[in-house]
Structure 1
């Protein structure tokens, strides 16, 4: 098979990609929920950001970035959330973000995944690269939270149970 034909083979459908991403989001939600309230906001190892700060970043990227892609809005990255003061509020916002992702993701036509978009006005790359970054970034920060939970003596959820 030549390179051109290989490039036309679809390995995963957009629907399967969304299911994969939402599996990670369900697991991350369980990891967030495993934290004791105080430790979610205060516990850190080696100067890394707290679980609440990591979660703020995830909330600022996933749904807002996907919405920006669909609407072709290149507004700058903004990490809001100072109004979130309890773990329950973070989980509620997580659930709202999940619903937004479920709403916006199917609005991206399959042919657009290879198109370039300037995310946050500074990351100019194919849309598929941005979506994969959203998943990779979440996995990375969830890994940090696993370390925190283990440091607190709490068994984190199994990473394969998505």
Structure 2
């Protein structure tokens, strides 16, 4: 492996800090309601997807418990989204500590999305999904006249 699991976790951490700052940049109502087009989702819905994938994957990879659920059920305030996002990341940190690098090499069919891949590739997909949706959030902020957080500050 080119990266150690701790190297990868640090990359995930830097990205999550940036995503949390993007959430904080949104006015409360715009976080839940704003879309530049009716075909698109509000940033809050993208955050749900990001964190729900993380939650499902980390429990599956670390504990072999595969369940995709909405950890935001009932949450309707931006502060709740920030708190839940942090709680899921805290779980991820704990479970990462318990995993060995051999576990990340295990290959199996993805129980949520279908293709066969390694657990490492699965977690990488989750990270790429976060980066993709955060980019959409940055675009939403700019369209709202709000300067997004500095990308290079992790």
In structure 2, distance between residues paired with 1:60 and 1:138: 11
Name which one, 1 or 2, has greater alpha-carbon Rg: 1
**Which residue is 1:112 aligned to?**
103
In structure 2, distance between residues paired with 1:123 and 1:108: 23
User: TM-score scaled by structure 1?
Assistant: 0.87
Other structure's SS at 2:116 match: strand
Cα RMSD between the aligned structures?
Answer: 1.5
| Unpaired segments ≥5 residues, structure 2 | none
Other structure's SS at 1:83 match: coil
Other structure's SS at 1:28 match: helix
Deviation at 1:80, TM superposition (A): 4.6
Say if 1:40 and 1:87, in contact at 8 Å, map to a contact too: yes
Counterpart mapping for 1:63-74 below 5 A: 63-74=55-66
| Unpaired segments ≥5 residues, structure 1 | 1-9
1:42 matches 2:48 = no
After superposition, give the CA deviation of every residue in 1:101-139 in whole Å (9 maximum; x if it has no partner): 101112221122221134435343111110110110000
After superposition, give the CA deviation of every residue in 1:20-71 in whole Å (9 maximum; x if it has no partner): 1011001000000100000000000222110110011112111331112111
In structure 1, distance between residues paired with 2:78 and 2:13: 20
Say if 1:43 and 1:51, in contact at 8 Å, map to a contact too: yes
